[in-house]
């Protein structure tokens, strides 16, 4: 299954204690990189959340954002850790003594300090029981989005493969006449020089030039790479890096085809192959 590394998913669900909002954003990246934005209540679960995501996502830069909206009491009071707030205020006051013309710290600075505001009576196990099912749903949505875009990428790559095969078919079709024309040109040139050159040496030079102009091997390798690309796209393996490697090989063979060119047909084929390869490479950068 082809999966894009670019996707987005979001869910907000009501809970007995309030609401839970989870957002996942994914873009292309060489490896798996997970960035998290979590409320203080879920900080102890950060590694568990990361490992949970790693079970389903293997590559890409992924941003996880979780927001909690906890219902207040009927009096709508703010609950805070008075002991921690006192420690923060005392520490800031001590630091102020060491700084010349220190900026004043107000009550909101202390209230927004991590851990000062407390959740309003929501048990940790209740939060955990709510978070993981919602996260699974968001991950499912994300994977479905990655697969939808992956199918579009797959169709585009297969279309380029088909165009490449048509280019190769054109070269093979015209190759006999290209080689024949080249041999005729060589004979005409050599006939002018036969009186002053050794016949054995002339034969050797003709064989050498004919071998250099023969591109059957490059055409075979190009078709082999295209077959491998098509096989990988139908597999369930992680394919992004392998496809990127195959793009390098396609480009290498296209360059060799161009360097051996003895006809406008093979020159144009080399250019077309490199253009199509680059078009595929740009899209493959988004495949997981």
Give the pLDDT confidence of 211-258 residue by residue, as tens digits.
566 678 889 999 999 999 999 999 988 899 999 999 999 999 999 988
Are residues 223 and 213 part of one domain? yes
In a domain, 226, yes or no: yes
Are residues 103 and 216 part of one domain? no
Are residues 140 and 11 part of one domain? yes
* Sheet strands side by side (includes 18-27): 7-15, 18-27, 60-70, 32-37
Are residues 166 and 140 part of one domain? no
Q: What is the pLDDT of residue 73?
A: 44
Q: What CA–CA distance (Å, rounded) separates 213 from 259?
A: 9
Scored b (16 or more CB within 10 A) or e, 58-93 reads ebbbbebebebebeeeeeeeeeeeeebbeebbeeee
Q: What CA–CA distance (Å, rounded) separates 240 from 169?
A: 28
Check residues 13 and 179 and name the one with the higher pLDDT: 13
Are residues 36 and 98 part of one domain? no
pLDDT at 110 over 80: no
Average pLDDT value for residue range 71-80: 56
Are residues 279 and 163 part of one domain? yes
12: β partners = 21
In a domain, 99, yes or no: yes
Are residues 49 and 96 part of one domain? no
Are residues 259 and 230 part of one domain? yes
Q: What CA–CA distance (Å, rounded) separates 53 from 26?
A: 12
Check residues 248 and 126 and name the one with the higher pLDDT: 248
Are residues 132 and 153 part of one domain? no
- Number of domains the chain contains: 3
Q: What is the pLDDT of residue 115?
A: 67
In a domain, 1, yes or no: no
Average pLDDT value for residue range 164-182: 87
Q: What is the pLDDT of residue 213?
A: 60
In a domain, 69, yes or no: yes
Contact 72, 120 (CB under 8 A): yes
26: β partners = 7, 62
Strands 7-15 and 60-70: unpaired
Within 13 Å, how many C-alpha atoms sit on residue 152's CB side? 10
Are residues 153 and 143 part of one domain? no
pLDDT digits (tens, 9 = 90+) for 248-288: 999 999 999 888 887 888 899 999 999 999 999 999 999 99
In a domain, 215, yes or no: yes
Are residues 141 and 174 part of one domain? no
In a domain, 2, yes or no: no
Say which CATH number the domain at 28 has. Answer: 3.30.230
For the question of whether the overall pTM of this predicted structure is more than 0.85, the answer is no
Enclosing domain of residue 224:
149-284
pLDDT digits (tens, 9 = 90+) for 17-60: 888 999 999 999 989 999 999 988 888 899 999 999 999 999 99
Contacts 24+ apart (CB under 8 A), 245-251: 247/277, 247/280, 247/281, 247/284, 249/221, 249/225, 250/164, 250/222, 250/225, 250/226, 250/277, 250/280, 251/277, 251/278
Are residues 127 and 101 part of one domain? no
Q: What is the pLDDT of residue 225?
A: 96
In a domain, 180, yes or no: yes
In a domain, 242, yes or no: yes
Q: What is the pLDDT of residue 91?
A: 84
pLDDT digits (tens, 9 = 90+) for 79-105: 666 787 788 788 877 777 777 666 666
pLDDT at 107 over 50: yes
């Amino acid at each position: 299954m082809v999966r894009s590394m670019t996707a987005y998913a979001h869910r907000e669900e009501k809970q007995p204690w309030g609401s839970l909002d989870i957002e996942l954003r994914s873009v292309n990246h060489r490896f798996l990189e997970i960035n998290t934005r979590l409320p203080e209540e879920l900080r102890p679960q950060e590694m568990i959340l990361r490992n949970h995501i790693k079970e389903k996502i293997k590559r890409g830069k992924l941003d996880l954002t979780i927001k909690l909206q906890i219902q207040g009491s009927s009096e709508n009071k703010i609950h805070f850790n008075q002991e921690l707030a006192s420690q923060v205020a005392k520490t800031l006051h001590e630091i102020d003594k060491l700084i010349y013309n220190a900026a004043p710290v107000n009550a909101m600075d202390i209230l927004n300090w991590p851990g000062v505001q407390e959740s309003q009576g929501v048990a940790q196990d209740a939060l955990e029981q709510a978070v993981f099912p919602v996260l699974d749903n968001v991950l499912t949505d994300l994977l479905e989005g990655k697969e939808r875009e992956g199918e579009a990428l797959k169709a585009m790559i297969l279309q380029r493969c088909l165009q490449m095969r048509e280019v190769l078919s054109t070269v093979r079709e015209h190759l006999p006449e290209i080689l024949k024309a080249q041999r005729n040109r060589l004979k005409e040139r050599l006939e002018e020089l036969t009186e002053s050159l050794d016949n054995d040496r002339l034969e050797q030079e003709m064989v050498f030039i004919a071998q250099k102009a023969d591109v059957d091997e490059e055409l075979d390798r190009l078709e082999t790479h295209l077959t491998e690309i098509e096989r990988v796209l139908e597999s369930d393996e992680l394919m992004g890096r392998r496809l990127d490697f195959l793009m390098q090989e396609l480009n290498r063979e296209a360059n060799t085809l161009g360097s051996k060119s003895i006809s406008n047909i093979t020159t144009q084929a080399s250019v077309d192959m490199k253009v199509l390869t680059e078009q595929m490479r740009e899209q493959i950068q988004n495949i997981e």
